[in-house]
Structure 1
């Protein structure tokens, strides 16, 4: 990026004070410009489409649409933004979900100002950005994932129909099973894929090649 073309950044966090602090920090750095902010995952999807930033700093746990789900939805429509998760959480499952959603990096909010700015610039260049502690956890999380029981044939059938937009009742009629049974299959899928909603489950299964 040249001085005439600063790296544009979208800041996503559900805490106004955090957004304001990050804005001040990044605006003071040469070659960076805050294109906008968002206070929720849903707003992040809308603002990313409207602003087309180079880099998105994405909070992870935010209300109904979390950072991993928002990241997957954003990157489904555009590969331009590089999403860097910036969170206080370093749980193995959180890290794995963020990376599998397409995030280019995962940093903790204890990261220094200099390291954060370097990470934004590195992400804009197309590099993967992981703090050392997170990199180790990601390796462990991927190892554990490989040992997980794969989805059953019926669970894959249910998930394919979810991907087509069918409700639990519709799926039950399609597969000739009860709606409660459909819900049970989905709960098992959520647990195996370490996700919390239907959209994230479909995306995770597709990314892992489970629905091919």
Structure 2
């Protein structure tokens, strides 16, 4: 193991929240060298994560953005409002700078792409455990965190109703944000909006 990880305590307890069980198995294996007595708990939904938090204290939570019952960012914000002080880093299949910025704006201490190799993953987790906030990839986007979230879901092809459900927003609120996005990119259609965002490197 690298010297970087020797500064961590021997006893660590992590909570990994992701609905893909095979990914969780691989993640647990990749993180196992972090400390001598590492305990890894897993949850496959927001509800399971909530139950784990009621039963245990954790040194770090690694949270997927896409959960079957609750968006990861909404879950994180709920924890912060409730006063949970466990550090949270976001895991995502997307390498999007916008998604990373939205996660950090919501209160995450780091954004770790699922495409990271084992060594990069361990280094990122170690830095968060040692109290660092991992910087988001650079982006010159002037969009708000909420607009970034909506833009990302727009790029995934979700209709307004699904976006409102995913983010816990009224459909009229989603439409208001979409109007602002269209004005920002000077476009009139959803496809053109996504295309313009990609051309600027914001997706």
TM-score range with shorter-chain normalisation?
A: 0.5 to 0.7
1:20-35 alignment, distance < 5 Å: 20-31=25-36, 33-35=38-40
- Give 1:44 deviation, angstroms: 1.8
Aligned equivalents of 1:2, 1:105: Cα separation in 2: 18
Say whether 1:63 aligns with 2:68: yes
Number of the residue aligned with 1:51? 56
Secondary structure at 1:186 match in 2: helix
Match of 1:166 in 2: none
The correspondence of residues 91-170 of structure 1 with structure 2, limited to 5 A, is 91-130=96-135, 134-137=136-139, 140-141=140-141, 143-145=142-144
Change (3 A) 1:72 1:113: same
SS of equivalent to 1:72: helix
**Equivalent residues of 2:100, 2:137 under 8 A apart:** no
Please name the residue that 1:36 is paired with. 41
Aligned residues: 152
**1:79 & 1:193 partners in 2: Cα distance?**
33
Q: CA RMSD in A?
A: 2.8
Displacement after TM superposition at 1:39 (Å): 0.5
Deviation (angstroms), 1:185: 4.0
8 A contact 1:10–1:57 mirrored in 2:
yes
* CA distance in 1: counterparts of 2:111 and 2:177, whole angstroms: 22
Distance in 1 between residues matched to 2:41 and 2:83, nearest whole Å: 18
Tell me if 1:87 matches 2:92.
Answer: yes
Following superposition, the deviation at residue 3 of structure 1 comes to: 4.1
Return 5+ residue gaps in structure 2 as ranges: 1-6, 148-169, 182-203
Residue 190 of structure 1 deviates from its aligned partner by: 5.6
CA–CA separation in structure 2 for the residues paired with 1:48 and 1:191: 35
Is the 8 Å Cα contact of residues 12 and 35 (structure 2) preserved in structure 1? Answer: no
Q: 1-side partners of 2:96 and 2:86: how far apart?
A: 24
**Structure 1 unmatched runs, 5+:** 149-182, 195-212
Task: Name the CA shift for 1:32/1:97 in 2 (closer, same or farther; >3 Å).
Answer: farther
Q: Higher relative contact order at CA 8 Å, sep ≥6: structure 1 or structure 2?
A: 2
Alpha-carbon distance in structure 2 between the residues aligned to 1:88 and 1:32: 28
